[in-house]
Structure 1
Amino acid sequence: MYLEIFVFFLIVSFIYSSVGFGGGSSYLAILAMYSLPHQEIRLIALICNIIVVVGSVYIYVKNKQTDWKKILPITIVSVPMAYLGAIVKISQSTFFMMLGVSLIIAAVLLWIKIDGSAETPAKDQKSDIVKNSFLGGGIGFLSGMVGIGGGIFLSPILNLMKWDVPKKIAATASVFILANSIAGISGQLTQLSGNMLNMKILYPCLSVFIGGQLGSRISVRWNPIVIKRVTAVLVFSAGINILIKHWNHIY
């Protein structure tokens, strides 16, 4: 089991980090196949998210692709909302229903083709703090409940809005994921009971560290469109699989 998780997480973290994501959604889907408690699944996914996006954030900051004046309004509100979402008590069946539906919606958003000419933002939205805050807060709350960083929702929405150039949106998503994952873990720890086996965390963490470092370093040179389409297929498949597998428990 652990070797399979290592290989799966290595591939997923490589693909996701190359477009500025943490991969939490697919980590959840993979772990769900091994019938682990949903509280543990969410915690492992969030820890892996942090490991992946720390490297991505470092690369984006180093390459001066982070616009903090635009990032902060989205992220600051999302942090407490992600914490609140994480402490909401939901049943395992509700969790898997939300996860499956969320993955399908995220896949559709990722698949939608963005105008390739949007190398410059359509308009200056730096002053639109209220809209950015609402967007970040809503995605943060959902992310906290499901156990992901939220970048897989934020990034395609910002691209559809032509909020900024693609690479700066990817940088924003990385910071957003990092902040929400930390907040989500804080909330998850209030609900976990007992001790988790170290091996449950060790193998996934080592795997995503390797994959994340590799993926984040090619992201500044590759056009992310093809990778996003591949990611959309993977996420859609994972969402459908989760709903089918847990259909009897949901209804």
Structure 2
Amino acid sequence: MIWLPLGFFLTALLYAAVGFGGGSTYSALLTLVGFDYRLLPIVSLACNVVVVSGSTIRFARAQVIPWRRALTLALIAAPLAFLGGLTPIKQATFLFVLGLSLVFAGLALLLPRAPESESEPTAAAKYMVWAAAPLGYLAGLVGIGGGIFLAPLLHLTRWAKAREIAATTSLFILINSLTGLIGQLAKNGPERFGEAMVGALPLLVAVVLGGQMGSVLALRFLPERVIRWLTAALTVWAGSRLLLG
């Protein structure tokens, strides 16, 4: 099934270009090919970790991560991501929540962003810590990083500058994906990890290549707005396919 690695490659390319991991769309693609819904969060979260690890390292080296504020958000969300990973969920509920999450995430990518000249945070910016907990739980439940929801909120409230938000989102996804993955393994048993990873090596290679190319694409070729539109289109399409069956 050659189109699946290609789909993972394209997803990683687009999501990495806008600072995300792509876990939600990986899950949707695996669902569309009939992958066991109990195992797909493990594959999706593992791919997330692969993609955003490189981004987080690059942001750290560039010294653009606002560590105290970013870690506050991530560490509030992390325990809830673990609990989300532990939570049993029926297949129909899982597919509905995942599909709805994808549609909302895609639409969130289209929300307007404040220009860099408007640097003063809004009054709502200080409440972003309260958004971290439910986003963490959702991340662990359906096998996503949660950053695709967090980033639009941070931009709308002018929580920080664009590069700092991208860096914060990357760290948020990395920590949530790791804790969500631990929760999934605790729920399903460590042997499930090996079962989930059987045949997943081409997918991991695809996201490594896609993630690296996505960073280059964002820096040198396509405008960030165009990449966001393409990512939103892919995300809404995948979510709609799940909701419509």
- Deviation digits for residues 176-230 of structure 1, max 9, x if unmatched? 0000000011000022255516443211111101111222344455642221111
Determine if contact 1:17/1:52 at 8 Å carries over to the other structure: yes
Look up the match of 1:137.
133
Determine if contact 2:150/2:169 at 8 Å carries over to the other structure: yes
* Cα separation, partners in 2 of 1:187 and 1:36, compared to 1, 3 Å: same
* Cα separation, partners in 2 of 1:123 and 1:59, compared to 1, 3 Å: same
Look up the match of 2:148.
152
Look up the match of 1:59.
58
Aligned ranges for residues 102-251 of structure 1 at < 5 Å? 102-115=101-114, 117-119=115-117, 121-123=119-121, 128=126, 131-192=127-188, 194=192, 195-196=194-195, 198-220=197-219, 223-245=223-245
What is the percentage of aligned positions where both structures have the same residue?
34
* Cα separation, partners in 2 of 1:6 and 1:110, compared to 1, 3 Å: same
List alignment gaps of at least 5 residues for structure 2. Answer: none
Counterpart residue type for residue 100 of structure 1: G
* Cα separation, partners in 2 of 1:138 and 1:121, compared to 1, 3 Å: farther
Look up the match of 1:75.
74
SS at structure 2 position matched to 1:22: coil
Counterpart residue type for residue 224 of structure 1: E
Counterpart residue type for residue 210 of structure 2: G
* Cα separation, partners in 2 of 1:153 and 1:139, compared to 1, 3 Å: same
- Say how many residue pairs are matched: 240
Determine if contact 2:99/2:242 at 8 Å carries over to the other structure: yes
Which 4+ residue blocks in structure 1 deviate beyond 3 angstroms?
217-223
Range that drifts further, 219-228 or 26-35: 219-228
SS at structure 1 position matched to 2:199: helix
TM score, norm. by length of structure 2? 0.91
* Cα separation, partners in 2 of 1:225 and 1:242, compared to 1, 3 Å: same
SS at structure 2 position matched to 1:121: coil
Determine if contact 2:136/2:176 at 8 Å carries over to the other structure: yes
Determine if contact 2:16/2:51 at 8 Å carries over to the other structure: yes
List alignment gaps of at least 5 residues for structure 1. Answer: 246-251
2-structure distance, mates of 1:157, 1:103: 16
* Cα separation, partners in 2 of 1:70 and 1:198, compared to 1, 3 Å: closer
Cα RMSD (Å) = 1.9
Determine if contact 1:20/1:219 at 8 Å carries over to the other structure: no
* Cα separation, partners in 2 of 1:119 and 1:170, compared to 1, 3 Å: farther
- Deviation digits for residues 70-99 of structure 1, max 9, x if unmatched? 201111111101001111111011000000
Q: CA deviation at 1:164?
A: 1.2
